[in-house]
Structure 1
Amino acid sequence: MEKISEYIRDNLKIIIGSLVIIVALGVFYLRKQEKSSDKKPENLEWSAVNNKKSEPEKETKEEKSAGDDIFVDVKGAVQNPGIYKLSAKHRVSDAIARAGGFTEEAERKAVNLAKKLQDEAEVYVPARGEVDTRKLLEGESGGAAGSEKEEKSKINLNTADLTELQQLSGVGAKKAQDIIDYRSENGSFKSVEDLRKVSGFGPKTLEKLRDAIAVD
């Protein structure tokens, strides 16, 4: 025991220093463990999973948006024939508008403007005289009913207003006003032939408009 006591006295500083180092290391290790336990890896994991979930959702929306696009081939009597990208919600009228609208020779009655479009569809606008519109109308309604529908689709020279008259091929605001002025000064048109009495409407113009106009 005396030797041990003597050894402790001789090495007291070393022993104390060693104890201090051990205690310091212990404290450092405990603090490090506490900091590690404060982290929440489960939150990080949830965040990573959540990010992965949001990516396919975004792709799904983009794919859905792309799926609404269709391509339509617009041909015939339009200003700018070609292939146009539209939406599946659009109709034939939208496709024709995208192609610059009808030309003066277009047979508008032969086109169903309200028809919905489909991908790879072809919209063909025939020229006047290219198809028999009367037969088309008879095919839809049959016989006399078709003829009646055709008459209703024509523009009545005695009742049409300025906007309706301008729907006629080659008839602008001035010519439409001339028709209205003629009615005011001379009374109703007795026949479509009377249109030749209006300035600017010669025999050729009348023949071009004959299938599109009517009188009471």
Structure 2
Amino acid sequence: MNKKKFLGSIIILSIFLIFLFVGYRLQNEKANSKNDNISIYKEENMENNYNEANNEIQNTKDSDGKKEIKAQIYGEIKNPGVYSLKSGDRIKDLIDLAGGFTENSEPYSINGAKKVVDGDNIEIKSKQDKLKGININKSESNSSLNNSGDSGSNNENEKLDINSASEEDIVNKKIPGIAKGLSKKIVEYREKNNGRINSQKDLEKAIGPKRAEKIMEYIEIN
């Protein structure tokens, strides 16, 4: 009888130990699984934060590199007006936005590769504008042929259109103080500024205040 009780106790103790061991293993596996999930969550969270920060930096770069500017275009253009562009855009981009040149335009009067600056006011010239300086020279030549005695006086009294005259025209006009070197500076300044000299101040920037003041009586700014 005592032997049976002893064996029964051994069996009960063994079953208890088995349950205790299994319970411990299950608890340990749950803890490991939880830790793995936390680790995965942290890694995913860190990756998301990195991606968000990277996107923010990229967006900032894109925003800085594409600042909005405004410029006006008029003259021989299909849809003159004020247009919004991005910094770094060229005059050609502005021309395209405005619908392109008219049939009466002189496309080569403008440098399409030049960058647009905020606040630019760009004129597209007509074919007549280009021929204007040539017509003035022809008129002077005809006058000299028909009135040889008065040709010198007529040429001196005729003012030179500084916006249509070529470098050679300026030299031939024989304006006091303006030699070939200065006439070249005038033309170069004009080409860098949308093909125009708009005022005496522009002329001063090209050749200096004193020279500009001296030649104003010999030229006209149209």
TM-score tier by shorter-chain length is 0.3 to 0.5
TM-score after normalising by structure 2: 0.45
TM-score after normalising by structure 1: 0.46
